[in-house]
Amino acid sequence: MKKTSLSDIANHLGVSKTLVSFVLNGKGKEFRISEEICKRVIEVAKEMNYQPNRIAQGLRTGRTNTIGLIIADIANPFFGILGREIEQEAARFGYRVIFCSSDENPEKSRQQIAMLQQSQVDGYIISPPKNSEDQIRSLVRGHVPFVLIDRYFPEIECNHIVVDNFDAAYRATNHLLKLGRKKIANITVNLGLVNMIQRTEGYKQALKDANIPIDENLIKILPFSHENKDVAKAIKELVGKSAQNRADAILFSTSKLGINGIESISALGLKIPDDIAIVSFDNPDAYKICISPVTVVNQPLKEIGKTAVQLLLNEIKHPDSPPKLQEIILKTDLIIRKSCGS
């Protein structure tokens, strides 16, 4: 019942384990092992159900065929779908993925990077939390292959794959403007990361270009660890009875905000889109079946995941090639449903 090792096969055939290793790595020709022996080795390996010990392999070669993935939270469908794509693409190339949820906590991500480093992963795909710049910089210094996704730090030169958040928010806001909305609010979260900031910037620019003055009261930046009640409060301030400058539309910067927001809007007895129009980033199932299906900024998750893996594997395979770093900015698409009226 014990596992079969290279030596077991070698002993069984009366040859050296060197030979067995060569053959099973497809280097039989290269090292001119006779056809006959090659065949026997492969045969016996199958018979004895030989499974190479990747840990031993990894120790010797320095490559583990494993990549480390650090995202905010795998339970969040946004990262769930992204994680799935990454897992799938990695598997295509024979790579395993160790998943880590950092909860946007830089201390956690620091520990996770250390853990992954000890595990000798070949590279990292990271969605870095606020205040993790030093961690990323130390990866750069260590010449460790890695790719950032979803966000990045403008001051650190490194591979990253993100969407054009400015453009996405601009277009979403414009969509609301075109449908006649004038008092457009933005509910976002204080992540302190470029992606969120750019969303609000895009929103502002669209208003500016439409000659609508920006009303800071219509921009609600919630604390990172916001709960339902925080969103409810923001909604009340924007569209509640006592709101002075009632909003007629809301752009939600995340789907978590949007889902909570819709709950609050319903609780206030308001109708979407009649009383209030909404657009949200991300495209969870919830938006397809809710009271009034939600118009969303859809991110190309499949492409982000695939590209991240490909970029990373390219780095891994060419460790000392000229460091032509890649900044990939993908476009989003606006899926128009019923939440903005027509």
Partner DNA sequence: TATTTTTGCTAAACCGATTTAGTAATTAAA
Partner DNA sequence: TTTAATTACTAAATCGGTTTAGCAAAAATA
Residues at the site binding a second copy, with contacts judged by CB under 8 A: 1, 51-56, 58-59, 64, 66, 73-77, 80-81, 83-84, 87-88, 91, 96-101, 114-115, 117-120, 141-143, 259, 262-263, 266, 284-286, 288-291
Give 57 or 298: the residue with its C-beta nearer to DNA: 57
Give 144 or 249: the residue with its C-beta nearer to DNA: 144
Using CB under 7 A as the binding rule, the residues of this chain from 15 to 54 that contact DNA are 15-19, 21-22, 24-25, 31-34, 37, 50, 52-53
Give 37 or 330: the residue with its C-beta nearer to DNA: 37
94 binds DNA (CB under 7 A): no
Which string of DSSP letters, residue by residue, matches 76-120? SHHHHHHHHHHHHHHHHTT-EEEEEE-TT-HHHHHHHHHHHHHTT
Give 50 or 78: the residue with its C-beta nearer to DNA: 50
* Of residues 69, 120, 7, the one with CA closest to residue 305: 69
242: left (phi > 0), else alpha (psi -120 to 50), else beta? alpha
Give 62 or 154: the residue with its C-beta nearer to DNA: 62
Residue 71 bridge partners (DSSP): 101
Distances (CA, A) of 340 to 165, 241, 264: 20, 21, 17
Burial of 75 (0-12, 13-18, 19+ CB in 10 A): exposed
The amino acid present at 125, given as its one-letter code, is I
CB of 94: closest distance to a second copy in angstroms? Answer: 9
User: Residue 154's CB: how many other CB atoms inside 10 A?
Assistant: 7
CB of 33: closest distance to DNA in angstroms? Answer: 4
7 binds DNA (CB under 7 A): yes
Q: Which of 11, 39, 60, 204 binds DNA (CB under 7 A)?
A: 60
Give 55 or 324: the residue with its C-beta nearer to a second copy: 55
115 binds DNA (CB under 7 A): no
Contacts of 329 (CB under 8 A, 6+ apart): 162, 163, 164
The reply to whether omega before 273 is within 30° of 0 (cis) is: yes
CB of 113: closest distance to a second copy in angstroms? Answer: 10
Q: Which of 11, 61, 119, 225 binds DNA (CB under 7 A)?
A: 61
Angle of helix 17-24 versus helix 6-13 axis, rounded to 10:
110
Provide the binding-site residues for DNA, judged by CB under 7 A. Answer: 3-7, 14-19, 21-22, 24-25, 31-34, 37, 50, 52-53, 56-57, 59-62
